[in-house]
Amino acid sequence: MAEPVSVPQRQDESFLPAPFNTTSPPPQLIAQGAEALLYRTHFLSPSTPAALKARPSKPYRHPTLDARLTKQRVLAEARVLVKLAGLASDPANEINVPAVLSLEWDAARKVKGLSDEQRGARSGGGAGAWLLMEWIEGRSVKDLLRQWDEWYKNKSADVPAEEIARQEEEVKRLLLVHGDLTSSNIIVRPKGGEMNGSSSAVANGDLREEKDQDGPTPPDLNGEIVLIDFGLATQSIQDEDRSVDLYVLERAFGSTHPRQEDWFDAEVLQSQHGYRGSYRGSNVVLKRLEDVRLRGRKRSMIG
Amino acid sequence: MPPELALHVAMYTDVENASFLKDQLLAGNAEFEYAFIDASMILSTKHVLAAAFRAMNDHLNERLKSRNIHSEIVFCLSPNNNIGEAFRRFGVSESTRNLLVLKVATATTPDITLESVSKHLSTHIQGKECAFDDANFRKVSDVERIRKVYKANLPTSRSSSKSGKPVVNGTSGGREFDPIWSLERQILGLMALRGAT
């Protein structure tokens, strides 16, 4: 990764909330969204990588509202993650989410008041709330699918059909979505919403050697699925919300991976080991999904 | 990681004078301003260090809820807002056999060094000093009690009652399912959320 240019780095540093603006090595900015900035840093010691999601305060908002909003959002996300972590302790659930390591929801809160000059060095920069999470190594499903797609397009003619089929199997397995949650997760970045934490299993290793090395290689599709980014997650058990959730995922998927769009429906939703098979209430939800498709989101006919 | 604050940690097993230490703490004896923690209530190094991190961060932002940063560390271990309860659960008591001691040195207390702390502790604590590492915690931690305090879930050993659910990720990654790690994540999250309205 290239070294960041010094000027932008200084601007970024002003966003870094208090304990992290003096961390060494300094956190690395990875992504910038509308709501928050994502840094890679560490927790307690450099051997524990961590993801810092910082939500700086927005000066154009009314300060009270801003403080309240940021706080609510960070807390909501943290609560969802912790709740899911609690569920994930049952291995039958196979949910993987990043662990919450540390949390700051109100950087301006003080129990004893001090004058602003005394506080000056620390409170500058208007840093708001932040959430420190376990770092998930791997690549997003979006990236993997893209890479797979590239390979598929350019594969050499003498690649046997079964291997293609096997690769397709792997990809489909990747897309399997959980249905057995009590909360409805509205994943904000559905196109990259799942990161593939690949670990040691390299069953595909030998397979890859046979492929044509000049073209793009198929990505290693093994590993566990980890869901990230619960910034807008809500906890709701209504079918309507669940089907809207699926709809969002479906549309996002279709727009970023158009060639694999039919897979989504066939494998993820309808197949026995996809949504339909693994979740008790899936029938109702899938039926609702048809309705949602017809009319679009946020047009709930429920009063 | 908080700068300019140093954290000193020591761990002891087979402690004999636990009640003496507790009395000193309650009396507010300035010489005994430490975070005394019952090591059997700690799951791992990360567990207690995360609590210390939160306490130090709160200290830097001037929002300690307890008397001093050391009592704050004990408080930060707790999943709820009851300081007394935190001390009863995690702090030192007469029955404590395995003790963890933490001391925070700030810029205003330059006389507190690793040497002075370890000397002071070794004279006053009747017990065997051991290394502060996860291996030792695994030996002394009372996982069941910890789990109950945090109301966390441990994976059940028997297979899920939802039959007919095929194993989805046949090649799911190499990391074996470690119940201690899973418990740790829940605890870290709960500690982080403590006191959130």
How far is the alpha carbon of B12 from chain A, nearest alpha carbon, in Å?
Answer: 22
Are A261 and B151 in contact by the 8 Å Cβ rule? The answer is: no
Q: What is the ipTM of this complex?
A: 0.73
How far is the alpha carbon of B15 from chain A, nearest alpha carbon, in Å?
Answer: 28
The whole-chain average pLDDT of chain B stands at 76
Beta carbons of A111 and B165 less than 8 Å apart:
no
Residues B24-69 pLDDT 10s: 887 777 777 788 888 888 888 888 888 888 888 888 777 788 888 8
Q: Which of residues 191-250 of A touch B (CB under 8 A)?
A: 197-201, 203, 222-225
Q: Which of residues 138-197 of A touch B (CB under 8 A)?
A: 173, 176, 180, 197
pLDDT for residue A107 = 61
CA dist B137 and B117 (Å) reads: 22
pLDDT for residue A213 = 35
Question: Is the bond preceding residue A25 a cis peptide, omega within 30 degrees?
Answer: yes
CA dist B99 and B140 (Å) reads: 10
Beta carbons of A111 and B65 less than 8 Å apart:
yes
Residues B132-154 pLDDT 10s: 888 888 888 888 888 888 887 76
Residues of A in contact with B152 (CB under 8 A): 86, 89
Is the overall model pTM greater than 0.80, yes or no?
no
Beta carbons of B57 and A199 less than 8 Å apart:
no
Say which of B60, B182, B190 has its CB closest to residue A88: B182
pLDDT for residue B99 = 85
Q: Which of residues 264-283 of A touch B (CB under 8 A)?
A: 272-273, 277-278
Residues A146-200 pLDDT 10s: 666 666 665 544 444 555 555 554 444 444 444 334 333 434 333 333 444 433 2
Are A102 and B50 in contact by the 8 Å Cβ rule? The answer is: yes
Residues facing residue B75 across a β-bridge: none
pLDDT for residue A6 = 39
Are A72 and A40 in contact by the 8 Å Cβ rule? The answer is: no
Are A52 and A135 in contact by the 8 Å Cβ rule? The answer is: no
Supply angle C-alpha A11, A12, A17, rounded to 5. 120
Are A118 and A94 in contact by the 8 Å Cβ rule? The answer is: no
pLDDT for residue A110 = 46
Say which of B152, B171, B196 has its CB closest to residue A201: B171
Which residue numbers in chain A have pLDDT < 50? 1-13, 92-94, 109-126, 156-160, 169-223, 273
Catalytic residues of A: 180
Residues B76-109 pLDDT 10s: 888 888 888 888 888 888 888 888 888 887 766 6
- Both tokens of A92, joined, read 């039958």
Are A77 and A188 in contact by the 8 Å Cβ rule? The answer is: no
Supply angle C-alpha A163, A253, A173, rounded to 5. 35
Q: How many CB atoms lie within 10 A of CB A3?
A: 6
Please say if the pLDDT value at position B186 is more than 60.
yes
Output A239 or B123, whichever has higher pLDDT: B123
